[in-house]
């Protein structure tokens, strides 16, 4: 329970904002460099409205790469240091099934590939859903195997808001089939599991592919703000993401908007508390984030996004051991998370 306090804090924070192999790294570096050097387009003072332009039958593909680094120090009777890195690359195949009168698109989404590369204190784990994996390996990486090659649906409006994720019943059946002892699930249980999978994983992942756009028209240097309030442990959060149009650029003949993202986080609440006999005291959290987004104005789609957050947290924990002696532990963790989205 002690470790979950800090871990939950960091995981939730990252989700709130991003609701923002060597050869792959080289490609991503080259892609980032090319977008930095895109030629400017003279808008002559003209404003544009950023909107997704969905058409029935449209098909497109995205690669999403999430990179998470965490350094943790635990100080008690002795000092334990831990370092981990996780790199996960997803490929999403998307088809627009229908667009209604309100410009809300129903899209079919299939995660056609997941590659996982994990390094924990020098111990490495690799997983590729396209490989021939046995049942034990699939169980170890069940969260990825469940969503791999199992199409689902999403409803997305023209401002990029993912309204709903649905048709997850096959994923639930797939997840259940990988259990050591398959369970008989009622309709209500399946519905609850589908809701949990949607809110905890698929909807946040899908939202990364469709960035939410502002209501107002934009010119160069225009900006807009989106706030993400939240509650984590003893803290109440006010996450403020500011987006600024740095420039309008040429994307192979199309007009694109180059947008800078910045995150500011303010915290309120009592930094001390007690839970189930465990007393804890947080230090002042340190958080920052930002990135760059390229949106094709003419085609109405996201071309590239690279956003990141950094969170530093420290907590002092006091609890009694099995001999009823007071044990004091300090945990400090620095976590960085980067999400890269690319239209393929």
Task: Please write the tens of the pLDDT for every residue from 102-139.
Answer: 999 999 999 999 999 999 999 999 999 999 999 999 99
* Residue 242 sits in the same domain as residue 312: yes
Q: Is the dihedral of CA 89, 95, 98, 100 positive or negative?
A: positive
Whether residues 254 and 328 share a domain: the answer is yes
* Burial class of 112 by CB neighbour count within 10 A (0 to 12, 13 to 18, 19+): middle
Looking at residues 300-329, what average pLDDT do you find? 90
CB 3 within 8 A of CB 331: yes
Contact 245, 223 (CB under 8 A): yes
pLDDT at 124: 95
- Read off the pTM: 0.83
Q: What are the strands, taking DSSP E only, across 121-189?
A: 123-128, 152-156, 162-166
- Taking phi over 0 as left and psi of -120 to 50 as alpha, with beta for the rest, 233 belongs to left
* 3-class secondary structure, 154: strand
Q: What are phi and psi of 32, to 5 degrees?
A: -60, -40
Domain boundary among 212, 245, 278: 212
- Could you tell me if 8 and 84 lie in one domain? no
Residue (of 6, 10, 34) closest to 336 by Cα position: 10
Do both 195 and 253 map to the same domain? no
In the three-class reduction of DSSP (H, G, I as helix; E, B as strand; rest coil), residue 281 is classed as strand
Closest CA to 231 of 263, 283, 269: 269
Among 153, 182, 212, the domain-final residue is 212
Eight-class DSSP state of 283: P
How confident is the model over 142-199, as pLDDT tens digits? 999 999 999 999 999 999 999 999 999 999 999 899 988 888 888 999 899 999 999 9
Q: Are residues 250 and 276 in the same domain?
A: yes
**Confidence label for 17 from pLDDT (cuts 50, 70 and 90):** very low
- Burial zone of 121 (CB within 10 Å; 0-12 exposed, 13-18 middle, 19+ buried): exposed
Q: What is the pLDDT of residue 32?
A: 44
For residues 127 and 114, give the distance between their C-alpha atoms in angstroms, rounded to a whole number.
Answer: 8
- Do 247 and 258 meet the contact criterion of CB atoms below 8 Å apart? yes
Residues 207 and 94 both lie in one domain = yes
Q: Please, what is the average pLDDT of the chain?
A: 87
Same domain? For 297 and 278 the reply is yes
Same domain, 186 and 115: yes
Q: What is the pLDDT of residue 20?
A: 38
pLDDT band, residue 25 (cuts 50/70/90) = very low
Q: Is the pLDDT of residue 329 over 80?
A: yes
Same-domain pairing of 60 and 70: yes
- Of 344, 335, 339, nearest to 69 (Cα)? 335
78 and 178 in a single domain? The answer is yes
69 and 113, same structural domain?
A: yes
User: In the prediction, which pLDDT does 12 show?
Assistant: 41
Q: Last residue of some domain: 212, 243, 270? A: 212
Contact 185, 193 (CB under 8 A): yes
Q: Provide the domain limits for residue 177.
A: 52-212
Extract the tokens encoding 17: 């904002």
As a whole number of angstroms, the distance between CA 178 and CA 2 comes to 30
User: What is the tally of structural domains in the chain?
Assistant: 2
> Does residue 230 surpass a pLDDT of 60?
yes
């Amino acid at each position: 329970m002690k470790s979950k306090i800090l871990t939950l804090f960091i995981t939730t924070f990252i989700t709130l904002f991003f609701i923002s192999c060597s050869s792959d790294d080289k490609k991503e570096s080259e892609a980032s460099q090319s977008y930095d050097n895109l030629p400017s387009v003279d808008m002559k003072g003209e404003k544009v409205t950023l909107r997704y332009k969905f058409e029935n039958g449209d098909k497109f593909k995205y690669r999403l790469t999430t990179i998470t680094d965490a350094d943790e120090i635990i100080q008690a009777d002795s000092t334990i240091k831990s370092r981990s890195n996780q790199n996960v690359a997803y490929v999403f195949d998307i088809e627009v099934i229908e667009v209604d009168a309100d410009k809300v698109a129903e899209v079919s989404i299939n995660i056609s590939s997941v590659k996982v590369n994990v390094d924990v204190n020098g111990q490495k784990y690799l997983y590729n859903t396209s490989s021939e994996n046995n049942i034990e390996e699939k169980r170890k990486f069940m969260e990825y195997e469940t969503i791999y090659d199992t199409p689902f649906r999403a409803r997305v409006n023209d401002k990029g808001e993912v309204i709903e994720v649905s048709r997850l019943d096959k994923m639930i059946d797939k997840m259940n089939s990988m259990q050591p002892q398959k369970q008989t699930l009622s309709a209500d249980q399946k519905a609850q599991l589908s809701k949990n999978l949607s809110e905890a994983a698929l909807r946040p992942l899908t939202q990364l592919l469709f960035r939410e756009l502002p209501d107002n028209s934009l010119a160069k240097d225009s900006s807009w703000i989106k706030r993400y309030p939240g509650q984590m442990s003893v803290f109440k959060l006010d996450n403020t993401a500011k987006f600024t149009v740095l420039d309008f650029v040429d994307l192979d003949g199309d007009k694109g908007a180059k947008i800078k993202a910045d995150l500011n986080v303010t915290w309120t609440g009592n930094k001390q508390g007690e839970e189930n006999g465990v007393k804890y005291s947080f230090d002042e959290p340190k958080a920052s984030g930002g990135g760059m987004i390229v949106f094709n104005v003419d085609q109405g789609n996201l071309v590239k996004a690279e956003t990141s957050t950094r969170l530093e947290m420290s907590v002092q924990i006091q609890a009694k051991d099995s001999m009823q002696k007071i044990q004091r532990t300090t945990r400090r963790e620095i976590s960085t998370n980067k999400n890269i989205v690319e239209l393929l």
